[in-house]
Amino acid sequence: MSKQLAYIATAAYGLEGVLAKEVRDLGYETGEIQTSRVEFYGDESALARSNLFLRTAGRVRLIAGTFRSATFDELYERTRSTAWEDYLPKDAKIPVTARCVSSALMSLSDCQRIVKKAIADRLCTVYGLGRLPETGCEYPVELHIFKDEATLSLDTSGEPLHKRGYRKLNGPAAIRETLAAAMVELSHWKEDRALIDPFCGTGTIIIEAAMKARNIAPGSRRNFGAETWGLIPADVWKQARAEAHDLENPRLALEILGSDIDENALSMARYHARAVGMPDLAFLRRDVKDLVSPYPYGHIITNPPYGKRMSHEETQLYRSLGLSWKQLRHWSAHVICAYPDFERAFGAKANGRRVLFNGQIACRYYQFYGERPPKGWTMKP
């Protein structure tokens, strides 16, 4: 394998810029950024490190080939000319998926069949096989065509990266870990400020914030598909995990709190905090109307209830949240919500807003900026 490889990290719509910054902060050069995709470049260790450390990525894919393809014949020939033997052993199991956007080739089933045949023909020729046995490890291949530009890649992550391994219990309308991490990143909250999620549910936002503050790698408690391949040396994975362990600061004191009125959800939040090794995180039962803090500066980051049809009860919750935020005076508030008239219910105009998706629900992330603390201020009750 070449020492310099090309990768794609995927992200939810609207988070491409956040993910690109993460990739650069890891030390890798970014390339083309498309909707929900960030291309980047790195050596073999980038495969392991990006899976372990990226908080907002959905998957990490290793690019095997790129080419222009406007016909099925071109797709077959260009796929077959790709050096698949550099990535796949002779017994590789090769499921193929396809995505075609603004392309002359729009039949996904035909694209998948042609790519699979081309890869099999290449490997059979190289390895001297009559047919591909597919009895070994799974190497998921994705064909992505955008405006007739095709990219063939291997999914190195296995399970989606939002599955950190700590969230075993699911409450209603749970937010994905990757989206929660992005909300924290976009808020610019730092560990020297207080943080409250007054609709914490099963605790995802609070846990993701604490993991970031304590430098706990999001993938440190799970495995990845590419670990079974032998594509990169086992020592590379071992070194990446050792790096993640060395960077952790699990005893860092934090003033963060999750609250909710649902005691069952809070019980799940405490379970998840223990599962990720942070039993010190605080979760308490409290109505949003009673939101208080002894700290003059801090951040609210939250995912309040919302649905396709808004109820009077939900809009009253937004009003209560706005009133409580105003009582905190200097605090910032960061709220993701699908209700289009949220600002009026909340009682303030946002300083910033962007479209994000919570699953399949189109939302806006509203940001209300509080005052900056004076120079030299430290967090004290």
Q: Domain segments of the chain: what residues?
A: 5-155, 177-216+233-368
Q: How far is CA 228 from the centre of its chain?
A: 22
Strands 149-155, 141-146: pairing is: antiparallel
Mean pLDDT in residue range 216-222: 96
Place of tokens 């995709």: 37
Mean pLDDT in residue range 82-91: 96
CA distance 164 to 212: 13
CA distance 350 to 338: 15
- Please identify, in words, the CATH class of the domain defined by 5-155: alpha beta
In percent, how much of the chain has pLDDT > 90?
89
365 neighbors 334 (Cβ within 8 angstroms) = yes
Does pTM surpass 0.85? yes
Please classify residue 156 by burial: count the beta carbons closer than 10 Å to its beta carbon, then call 0-12 exposed, 13-18 middle and 19+ buried. Answer: buried
Q: What would the DSSP string read from start to end of 281-300?
A: -EEEE--GGG---S-SSEEE
CA distance 240 to 234: 10
150 neighbors 64 (Cβ within 8 angstroms) = no
Helix (H, G, I), strand (E, B), or coil: what is residue 197? strand
The pLDDT score that the predictor gives to residue 309 is 53
Tens digit of each residue's pLDDT (9 = 90 or more) over 134-145: 999 999 999 999
68 neighbors 62 (Cβ within 8 angstroms) = no
Mean pLDDT in residue range 231-250: 95
Nearest to 317 by CA among 377, 236, 262: 262
pLDDT for 307 beyond 70: no
pLDDT for 233 beyond 50: yes
Mean pLDDT in residue range 28-37: 95
Mean pLDDT in residue range 199-213: 97
Contacts for 162 with CB less than 8 Å, ≥ 6 apart: 58, 176, 177, 178, 179
The pLDDT score that the predictor gives to residue 313 is 78
Mean pLDDT in residue range 160-187: 92
pLDDT for 171 beyond 80: no
Among left, alpha and beta (phi > 0; psi -120 to 50; other), residue 188 is left
Q: Output b/e per residue, 260-269; b: 16+ Cβ within 10 A.
A: bebeebbebb
Helix (H, G, I), strand (E, B), or coil: what is residue 164? coil
pLDDT for 379 beyond 90: no
CA end-to-end span of the chain:
56
CA distance 194 to 173: 25
Place of tokens 């988070």: 15
Angle at 253 between CA 252 and CA 257, to 5 degrees: 125
> Which DSSP symbol is given to 91?
T
pLDDT for 2 beyond 70: no
Q: How far is CA 3 from CA 43, 62, 225, 235, 325, in A?
A: 5, 13, 20, 15, 51
Tens digit of each residue's pLDDT (9 = 90 or more) over 315-328: 899 999 999 999 99
Tens digit of each residue's pLDDT (9 = 90 or more) over 326-362: 999 899 999 999 999 999 999 999 999 999 999 889 9
CA distance 53 to 19: 11
Tens digit of each residue's pLDDT (9 = 90 or more) over 34-79: 999 999 999 999 999 999 999 999 999 999 999 999 999 999 999 9
In percent, how much of the chain has pLDDT > 70?
98
Q: How far is CA 37 from CA 143, 241, 315, 354, in A?
A: 14, 25, 35, 18
Strand partners, 10: 37
* Widest distance between CA atoms in the chain: 74
pLDDT for 1 beyond 60: no
Contacts for 260 with CB less than 8 Å, ≥ 6 apart: 198, 199, 200, 201, 266, 269, 283, 285, 286
CA distance 326 to 346: 10
Mean pLDDT in residue range 355-375: 93
Strand partners, 352: 367
**Averaged pLDDT of the chain:** 94
The pLDDT score that the predictor gives to residue 168 is 87
Angle at 45 between CA 42 and CA 50, to 5 degrees: 75
239 neighbors 202 (Cβ within 8 angstroms) = no
CATH number belonging to the domain at 177-216+233-368, selected among 3.30.1330.10, 3.40.50.150, 1.20.970.10, 3.40.718.10: 3.40.50.150
